[in-house]
Structure 1
Amino acid sequence: MVVQLAKIAGLKVIASTGSDEKVNYLLKEIGVDVAFNYKTTSVDSALAKEGPIDLYWDNVGGQTLEAAVEHCKVNAKIIVCGYISEYNNEQQYGIKPETIYVLITLAAIKNFHWIFKKRLQIHGLLTPDHFTKWLNKFMEEVPPLVVQGKIKTKEDLVYGLDNAAQAFVDLLQGKNLGKTVVVVSEDD
């Protein structure tokens, strides 16, 4: 959705994903300007070729965020809504959940000096923080865009609650192409 809203706003969109199938989907179905498979093309080389970046939406962290920071323009904005590359650090480093956020910050941005040298603005985003102010506007604007076909949706349906755990694992491993939905009942 972020990619599609950026395209609607007239922005050039560079997108990374973990499979060639998803690259094709982003290019042919969604209409991004540039898409690449980060497993076969380094994020750094893709951004060196296609950047620099004015606005970066991050839900990965780690080396991907480092590469983005490196290729940001002065005064660029970074919105962080996740850090999937760091989710397993608790097991990797044997730390407690309450201390993982400090570690993630340090592990996710090794080239921290670019943040102040480029005067980057980094914002953490948790959707519930914005419900009161933006939910009504979102509901007025986004569902009509879906109905009009301006925002495309794709769902990966998994049937049965007993398959939910595997669906979640598959999601974290990037095996889904669309939004993972566990169908627990087909009753209306």
Structure 2
Amino acid sequence: MAKAKGLRVIASAGSDEKVVFIKSLGAGVTFNYKTENTRDILAWEGPINMYWDSVGGEALEVAIGAASVGARFIECGMISIFTGEPYHVKNLFNIDAKGLKISGFIVSSLSQSHQSHFYEMFLKLVKEGKHKYKEDVTKGLERAGHTIIDVITGRNKGKSMILVGEE
């Protein structure tokens, strides 16, 4: 969607399979953050003007370091808090020094006010073939815990859903 708006997109994923998928979506620069150094990639490809973050931790620190003056950060989750020792971002002084604009939100807090517009727009883009997505469907509520672990550890291949019944 960012590419469709004319933005240059740098995107990372935690597996080569996911990197191939995000490249197919139109991202200009793609890399596997588990096998390539994010700091090096952003030093070469940056600075960044806008950053969508659902990871937090060290990834957020690297992005802050690579941000241009006045860059905008959209914070929607901090999955890194579930994957090991908490990582304390060390360069938060750059928020002031670079004049960064940081906005955070939880999807559920926005869903009621934006849900109808989202479904109207998103479904149209999917039907027209202008937006691709992947789903991971797990059958059975008893597998919910495993599905959550898969999301936290990056083993999922797309949007994770739990199919409770076939009806």
Q: TM-score, normalised by structure 1?
A: 0.82
- Look up the match of 1:27: 23
Q: Does 1:48 align with 2:43?
A: yes
- Look up the match of 1:126: 106
User: What do the CA deviations read for 1:133-159 (whole angstroms, capped 9, x no partner)?
Assistant: 433322322221111111112111111
Distance 1:71 1:38 in 2: 15
For residues 84-163 of structure 1, what are the structure 2 equivalents within 5 Å? 84-87=79-82, 92=85, 107-163=87-143
- Look up the match of 1:95: none
Report if aligned partners of 1:86, 1:108 keep a CA contact under 8 Å in 2.
no
Distance 2:43 2:10 in 1: 12
Q: Secondary structure at the match of 1:150?
A: coil
Distance 1:88 1:178 in 2: 19
Amino acid at match of 1:159: K
Report if aligned partners of 2:82, 2:152 keep a CA contact under 8 Å in 1.
no
For residues 174-185 of structure 1, what are the structure 2 equivalents within 5 Å? 174-185=154-165
* Residues 145 and 126 of structure 1: CA distance in aligned 2, closer, same or farther (over 3 Å): same
* Residues 77 and 182 of structure 1: CA distance in aligned 2, closer, same or farther (over 3 Å): same
User: What do the CA deviations read for 1:54-110 (whole angstroms, capped 9, x no partner)?
Assistant: 100011111100010001110000010111112367xx5xxxxxxxxxxx7xx4421
* Residues 179 and 132 of structure 1: CA distance in aligned 2, closer, same or farther (over 3 Å): closer
Amino acid at match of 1:51: G
Q: Secondary structure at the match of 1:177?
A: coil
Q: Give the count of matched residue pairs.
A: 167
* Residues 136 and 158 of structure 1: CA distance in aligned 2, closer, same or farther (over 3 Å): closer
Distance 2:164 2:108 in 1: 25
Q: Does 1:8 align with 2:7?
A: no
Distance 1:85 1:113 in 2: 21
Distance 2:94 2:155 in 1: 33
Q: Secondary structure at the match of 1:139?
A: helix
* Residues 133 and 182 of structure 1: CA distance in aligned 2, closer, same or farther (over 3 Å): closer
Amino acid at match of 1:137: H
Report the RMSD for the aligned CA atoms in angstroms.
Answer: 1.7
For residues 57-76 of structure 1, what are the structure 2 equivalents within 5 Å? 57-76=52-71
Report if aligned partners of 2:140, 2:162 keep a CA contact under 8 Å in 1.
yes
Report if aligned partners of 1:75, 1:119 keep a CA contact under 8 Å in 2.
yes
> Percentage identity across aligned positions?
42
How far residue 167 of structure 1 moved from its aligned partner, in angstroms, is 1.4
